[in-house]
């Protein structure tokens, strides 16, 4: 003991120093204006997190409330409890202030974009998103000073939005959660009763004003991503009598695939025989053959029959135009009249409303003989003559 200093004096000095220490405010407990930081540097949001300084505390304690996408909640962490002080997504931020925790269940399915935002704070609050399913600071998936965003939130899963105080901060706040639904997918086929349309086809989507081309080999259109909602579709196929086709209220579901097919009924023309080649006649003796026009399609067919070249003097058509119902046929008489000897050729031109075969050419070759001829056939069918005999007296 130094000379002149008594034990009672030392005791008195020690008590005074201890009292001063107890009266001093703890470090970082003093109030700060928004944006003021404690002496320990806070890493920037979005930077790679530094190494954790110790074991992370887990568990959320009491869930303050449930919040839905689009909700705004006004709250305060003043008087709340500090359960979590560090988060796995950025353990360098020391969140020793009290926190509020909100459960957020993502709607539907697919992957959603979620942004949680806080504003109106008087102290330094931060925001974190934990999950899915378990509220645990080890499962931190997003963080920020005033907003935290997650681009792959699982539809139907529950996440936890945490408002926490940096270095003991506590404050009132406004919390808003925005959720953007994932796109759905639209795809399908445009067909007729035979296969893909034989002409250019298109699917128009409203209200987005989108045109989707149709693969001519398969009839497929899409897939195309669309925001969830209701859409009106219009399918067109050039020259098809049943075009356009409309479907309203096609629903696109978040994260789902919607199939919408279109089928264009159309006429489908055919003729028999395929030609009148090898037909034999006698000058002065008219005769006729039958042309059968067939509609194999699922739609009524309009047709016209013409001579080609125009107005052949040795040929006449019994019926020049008409309509044939779906899956039906019609017989048309074709008249021949040999006016002189020789071989004569031409065509019949059948025009129809079949968009895939609008013009059918039917070849004709007529051989005419003169005299008191007796012409007879041996196994003859129009357009497929197997034998002809001619006897001249």
346-360 tens-digit pLDDT: 999 999 999 999 999
Burial letters 37-61, b for 16+ CB under 10 A, else e = ebeeebeebeeebeeeeeebbeebe
pLDDT category at 111 given cuts 50, 70, 90 is confident
pLDDT value at residue 51? 38
168 and 101 in one domain?
yes
145 and 28 share a domain? yes
Query: Token pair 């629903």 is at which residue?
Result: 251
Confidence band of 310 (pLDDT split at 50, 70, 90): confident
Per-residue pLDDT at 381 = 41
Which of these, 131, 231, 253, lies nearest to 184 by C-alpha position? 253
Q: What is the pLDDT of residue 10?
A: 40
| Torsion angle of the four alpha carbons 317, 323, 328, 334, in this order, in degrees rounded to the nearest 10 | 0
Chain-centroid distance of CA 53 in Å reads 47
Tell me which of 160, 181, 202 is where a domain ends: 181
When pLDDT is cut at 50, 70 and 90, the band that residue 191 belongs to is: very high
If one counts every other C-beta atom within 10 angstroms of the C-beta of residue 305, the result is 22
Residues in the chain: 393
Which carries the bigger pLDDT value, residue 111 or residue 27?
111
Q: Number of structural domains, the chain?
A: 3
Question: Do 166 and 225 belong together in one domain?
Answer: no
Pairwise CA distance, residues 222 & 230, whole Å: 17
What's the mean pLDDT in 60-73? 92
Full residue range of the structural domain in which residue 228 is found = 184-264
Residue 146 has what pLDDT? Answer: 95
172 plus 188 within the same structural domain: no
What is the reported pLDDT for 36?
Answer: 40
CATH code, domain carrying 100: 2.60.120.380
Tokens standing for residue 388: 């002809």
- Kindly tell me if the per-residue pLDDT of 32 is higher than 60: no
**Averaged pLDDT for residues 240-246:** 96
Residue 198 has pLDDT above 90, yes or no: yes
- pLDDT score, position 288: 96
Q: What is the mean pLDDT of the chain?
A: 84
Q: Indicate the pLDDT class of residue 311, thresholds 50, 70 and 90.
A: confident
The answer to whether 111 and 155 are in contact (CB under 8 A) is yes
In sequence order, the 6+-apart residues with CB closer than 8 A to the CB of 215 are 196, 221
Q: Are strands 147-154 and 342-352 parallel, antiparallel or unpaired?
A: unpaired
DSSP string covering 195-235: SS-SS-EEEEEETTTEEEE--TTT-EEEEEEE-SEEEEEEE
- Of the residues 212, 242, 264, the one at which a domain ends: 264
One domain for residues 120 and 107? yes
Query: Which of 240, 264, 288 is the last residue before a domain boundary?
Result: 264
The whole-number pLDDT of residue 52 equals 36
**Residue 373 belongs to domain with CATH number:** 2.60.40.10
- pLDDT(105) > 90: yes
Mean pLDDT of 13-27: 44
Closest CA to 56 of 135, 137, 114, 134: 137
pLDDT band at 108 (very low <50, low <70, confident <90, very high): confident
Cα end-to-end distance, the chain, whole Å:
168
Asked if 85 and 165 count as a contact pair (C-beta separation under 8 A), the reply is no
Is 166 found in the same domain as 102? yes
- Least reliable range by pLDDT among 20-24, 62-66, 155-159, 382-386: 382-386
Whether 149 and 287 share a structural domain: no
Percent residues over pLDDT 70 in the chain: 80
Q: What span, in angstroms and rounded, lies between the C-alpha atoms of 202 and 198?
A: 12
Is there a single domain that holds both residue 339 and residue 232?
A: no
Instruction: Tell me: pLDDT of 380 over 90.
Output: no
- pTM given for the model: 0.60
Q: What is the domain-level CATH number for residue 245?
A: 2.60.40.1120
Using CA atoms, how far apart are residues 250 and 260, in angstroms rounded to an integer? 8
Task: Indicate whether 138 and 37 sit together in one domain.
Answer: yes
Q: What is the pLDDT of residue 372?
A: 55
Domain match, 87 and 219 both: no
Query: Same domain for 195 and 161?
Result: no
Residues 258 and 299 in one domain: no
Question: pLDDT (tens digit, 9 = 90+) per residue, 167-178?
Answer: 999 999 999 999
**Statement: residue 341 has pLDDT above 50:** yes
pLDDT of 24 over the 70 cut: no
Q: From 160, 180, 38, select the one nearest 115 (Cα to Cα).
A: 180
């Amino acid at each position: 003991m130094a000379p002149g200093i008594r034990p009672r004096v030392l005791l008195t000095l020690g008590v005074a120093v201890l009292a001063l220490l107890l009266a001093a405010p703890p470090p970082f407990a003093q109030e700060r204006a928004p944006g003021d930081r404690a002496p320990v540097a806070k890493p920037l949001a979005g930077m790679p997190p530094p190494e954790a300084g110790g074991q992370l505390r887990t568990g959320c304690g009491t869930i303050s409330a449930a919040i839905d996408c689009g909700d705004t909640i006004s709250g305060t962490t003043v008087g709340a409890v500090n359960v979590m002080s560090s988060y796995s997504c950025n353990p360098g931020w020391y969140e020793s202030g009290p926190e509020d925790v909100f459960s957020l269940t993502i709607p539907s399915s697919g992957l959603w974009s979620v942004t949680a935002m806080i504003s109106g704070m008087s102290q330094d609050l931060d925001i974190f998103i934990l999950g899915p399913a378990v509220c645990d600071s080890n499962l931190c998936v997003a963080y920020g000073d005033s907003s935290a965003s997650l681009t792959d939130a699982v539809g139907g899963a529950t996440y936890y939005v945490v408002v926490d105080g940096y270095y003991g901060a506590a404050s009132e706040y406004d919390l808003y959660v925005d959720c953007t639904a994932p796109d759905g997918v639209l795809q399908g086929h445009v067909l007729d009763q035979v296969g893909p349309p034989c002409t250019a086809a298109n699917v128009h989507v409203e209200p987005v004003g989108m045109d989707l081309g149709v693969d001519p080999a398969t009839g497929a259109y899409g897939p195309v991503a669309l925001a969830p909602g209701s859409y009106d579709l219009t399918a067109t196929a050039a020259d098809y009598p049943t075009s356009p086709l409309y479907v309203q209220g096609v629903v696109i579901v978040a994260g789902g695939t919607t199939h919408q097919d279109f089928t264009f009924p159309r006429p489908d023309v055919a003729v028999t025989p395929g030609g009148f080649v090898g037909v034999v006649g006698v000058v002065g003796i008219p005769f006729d053959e039958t042309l059968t026009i067939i509609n194999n399609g699922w739609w009524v067919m309009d047709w016209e029959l013409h001579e080609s070249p125009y107005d052949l003097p040795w040929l006449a058509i019994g019926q020049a135009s008409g309509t044939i119902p779906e899956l039906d046929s019609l017989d048309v008489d074709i008249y021949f009249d040999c006016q002189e000897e020789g071989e004569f050729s031409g065509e019949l031109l059948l025009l129809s409303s079949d968009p895939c075969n609008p013009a059918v050419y039917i070849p004709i070759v007529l051989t005419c003989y003169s005299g008191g001829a007796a012409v007879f056939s041996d196994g003859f069918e129009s357009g497929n003559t197997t034998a002809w005999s001619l006897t001249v007296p």
